Amino acid sequence: MKKTILWASLGLMIACGPSDSTNSAESSTSSSSSAGKGLNITIKGSDTVLPVSQKERNRFMELNPEANVQVVGGGSGVGIAALINNTTDIAMVSRDLNYQEKNSLALLGKTTERVVLAYDALAVVVNPNNPMQQLSIKQLELIYTGKVQNWNELEDADGNPGPDMTIIPYSRETSSGTYEYFKEVAMHDREYAPNVLKVPSTQSIVTSVGETEGAIGYIGVAYISDEVAAVSILNKATEYYIEPTVNFAQDNTYPIVRPLYYFFLQEDTDRLKPFLDFILSEEGQAIIKEVGYVPL
């Protein structure tokens, strides 16, 4: 019988990301009104990063009334495309740049910088009426590659078969960084099965899974709500099933944790610095924790 940790803090902190250009903006405790005076910023991209950016924007503009910061979602791919096309200042991204994006930027002579602003525990969710609320990454791979299509083909933590119910897997669409990250980590880069339903936003997954008994999906930890049940994922090293919480992401016991990025052009670094400094400040990181993500 596998074991489930319901709550713990083991005190092992995850690393704060790459040390080259990542987090190149210096942290500060607050943003002065003079620093953000007349600052206009457009931020586009990841739906995972969206709630963080919205809260950070709201507070930054309270401190800097003359600043204008606009935040739009749509997916990581949308954000990077906007950066390439000069229609955003900052791309919100929940994955690293892919080869095609790097090549497009290089061909245009654009050099990018990136900042890790937070970490995210990628949560797997099922309908609250589904008793299968403990899964391994191998079981996720079987579900999303179409190898199993009924819950009774899987065993729970005690070795009992799941309910006789068709599995209805939901996924983000291909422009989403979460789509790519889940494919890499949970599916070992295997292709999604044809029966996987792709939806345009994280909230769409929450709504769809909450309304469909056989459904399963994956979302950023900040999107967990009473509409869905968060699945505990097996940590193979400890043989414990770990809940997707900020504490378990921070001590690195939850097995699906990823960095969240801001990408921007190197030439804009000085102009964007007041906003980036605020995000990395004590107050900005407190907002990240308030939203439900893992602060640096």
Q: Is residue 37 scored above 80 in pLDDT?
A: no
Same domain? 183 vs 237: yes
Q: Is residue 96 scored above 80 in pLDDT?
A: yes
Residue 3 maps to a domain: no
Looking at residue 119, what is its pLDDT?
Answer: 94
**If you average pLDDT over residues 172-190, what whole number do you get?**
93
DSSP letter string over 7-54?
A: S-----PPP---SSSTT-SPP-S---TTTTTT-EEEEEE-TTTHHHHH
**If you average pLDDT over residues 89-94, what whole number do you get?**
96
Same domain? 106 vs 137: no
Same domain? 84 vs 131: no
DSSP letter string over 105-142?
A: HHHTT--EEEEEEEEEEEEEEE-TT-S--EE-HHHHHH
Q: Are the CB atoms for 264 and 91 separated by under 8 Å? A: yes
Q: Are the CB atoms for 104 and 198 separated by under 8 Å? A: no
**If you average pLDDT over residues 263-268, what whole number do you get?**
97
Confidence of residue 21 (pLDDT cuts 50, 70, 90): very low
Q: What is the CATH number of the domain that holds 193?
A: 3.40.190.10
Same domain? 94 vs 166: no
Residue 2 maps to a domain: no
Q: Is residue 29 scored above 80 in pLDDT?
A: no
Residue 37 maps to a domain: yes
Q: Is residue 6 scored above 90 in pLDDT?
A: no
Looking at residue 38, what is its pLDDT?
Answer: 77
Residue 4 maps to a domain: no
Please state, rounded to an integer, the average pLDDT across all residues of the chain. Answer: 88
Handedness of CA 128, 287, 235, 19 (dihedral sign): positive
Q: At 275, list the tokens.
A: 């906003």
Looking at residue 35, what is its pLDDT?
Answer: 62
pLDDT in tens, 107-124: 999 999 999 999 999 999
Q: Are the CB atoms for 224 and 292 separated by under 8 Å? A: yes
pLDDT in tens, 210-239: 999 999 999 999 899 999 999 999 999 999
Same domain? 152 vs 142: yes
Looking at residue 207, what is its pLDDT?
Answer: 97
Q: Is residue 77 scored above 90 in pLDDT?
A: yes
Same domain? 146 vs 195: yes
Same domain? 262 vs 273: yes
Residue 27 maps to a domain: yes
Q: What is the CA radius of gyration of the chain?
A: 20
Same domain? 170 vs 195: yes
Residue 145 burial (CB count, 10 A): 18
**If you average pLDDT over residues 74-79, what whole number do you get?**
93
Residue 5 maps to a domain: no
Looking at residue 252, what is its pLDDT?
Answer: 87
Confidence of residue 97 (pLDDT cuts 50, 70, 90): very high
Confidence of residue 36 (pLDDT cuts 50, 70, 90): low
Same domain? 110 vs 217: no
Same domain? 114 vs 19: yes
Looking at residue 175, what is its pLDDT?
Answer: 86
Confidence of residue 24 (pLDDT cuts 50, 70, 90): very low
Residue 132 maps to a domain: yes
Q: Is residue 12 scored above 80 in pLDDT?
A: no
Looking at residue 208, what is its pLDDT?
Answer: 97
Same domain? 104 vs 52: yes
Pair type for strands 257-265 and 112-126: antiparallel
Handedness of CA 144, 147, 150, 153 (dihedral sign): negative
Q: Is residue 260 scored above 70 in pLDDT?
A: yes
Structural domains counted in the chain = 2
What share of the chain in percent tops pLDDT 90?
Answer: 81
**If you average pLDDT over residues 25-35, what whole number do you get?**
45
- Burial status of residue 15 (CB atoms within 10 A of its CB: 0-12, 13-18, 19 or more): exposed
Q: Print the domain residue range for 182.
A: 121-250
Q: Is residue 251 scored above 80 in pLDDT?
A: yes
Residue 1 maps to a domain: no
Confidence of residue 296 (pLDDT cuts 50, 70, 90): confident
Same domain? 26 vs 128: no
